[in-house]
Amino acid sequence: MKDRESVALITLEGVEGAGKSTLADGLEDLLLRCGHRVLRCREPGGTSLGEAIRSAVLDPGHGEVSAWSELFLMLAARAQLVREVIEPALGRGEIVICDRFLDASTAYQGAGRALGVDRVRELNRLATGGRWPDLTLLLDLDPAEGRGRQTEAPDRMEQEDLDFHRRVREGYLRIAREEPQRVEVLDARRPPPELLSVGWEALRRRCPGLGLRAEPPVA
């Protein structure tokens, strides 16, 4: 098993259409080439319970869902993911890359739904047992531009109006201001190769225990 400094929980956050999945694909590939073991997961989801909650929360067919119901469903999925997937993977010496994690609730429900950023942050701490990301890459983008990038039918969250998504973006930026030691803001307007390059540099600089070189490996 690798020592604790050589493993990490890396989370990717941002508004809809910011390019999180593409960046996660690229980082996973580079880390594997460096000889690291990597586990990918997403929120909500990643477990049988989490995927069921994902369907319930994002399906527009459920109609109006109260903000508190939405939050507690997300917290339940997160608690299960941490205990069933994330903690065991870190214990095995793997690097975990998670597409959304606790900051998503702080931004979407705390800021977007106006439930309170500090209140949601504390509930996150309870749900995760205190597990916080080692590094969060926040892909910052104007929500209107992100909406223009989407090609699939929008889910229930994506159907919210732009004012909601602007509050979400501001929620994310508030997190970045309050936790600069953890959150790295990336300009998601960059082309994917450039975004991967700056994401790699952030990972190398902020997680020195991983022993990554300044120049990413090539195929």
**Residue 89: inside a domain, yes or no?**
yes
SS3 35: coil
pLDDT at position 66, please?
94
Separation CA 182–CA 29 (nearest Å): 23
Nearest to 43 by CA among 9, 94, 6: 9
What ranges make up the beta strands (E) of the chain?
9-14, 38-42, 95-99, 135-140, 183-187
Q: What is the pLDDT of residues 59-103, one digit of tens each?
A: 888 778 899 999 999 999 999 999 999 999 999 999 999 999 999
- pLDDT of residue 150 exceeding 60: yes
* Averaged pLDDT, 4-17: 86
- The answer to whether residue 116 is domain-embedded is yes
Asked if residue 212 belongs to a domain, the reply is no
Residue 129 lies in domain? 4-206
The number of C-alpha atoms within 13 Å of 131 and in the hemisphere containing its C-beta is 22
pTM of the entire structure? 0.93
For 205, residues 6+ apart whose C-beta sits below 8 A from its C-beta are: none
Whether residue 179 lies inside any domain: the answer is yes
Quickly count: other Cβ atoms within 10 Å of residue 73's Cβ: 18
When divided into structural domains, the chain yields a total of 1
With respect to residue 213, please indicate whether it lies within any of the assigned structural domains.
no
User: Is residue 133 situated within a structural domain?
Assistant: yes
- Closest by CA to 31, choosing from 95, 84, 101, 74, is 95
Does residue 218 lie in a domain region?
no
As a whole number of Å, the CA-based R_g of the chain is: 17
Which CATH number characterizes residue 20's domain?
Answer: 3.40.50.300
The answer to whether residue 151 sits within a structural domain is: yes
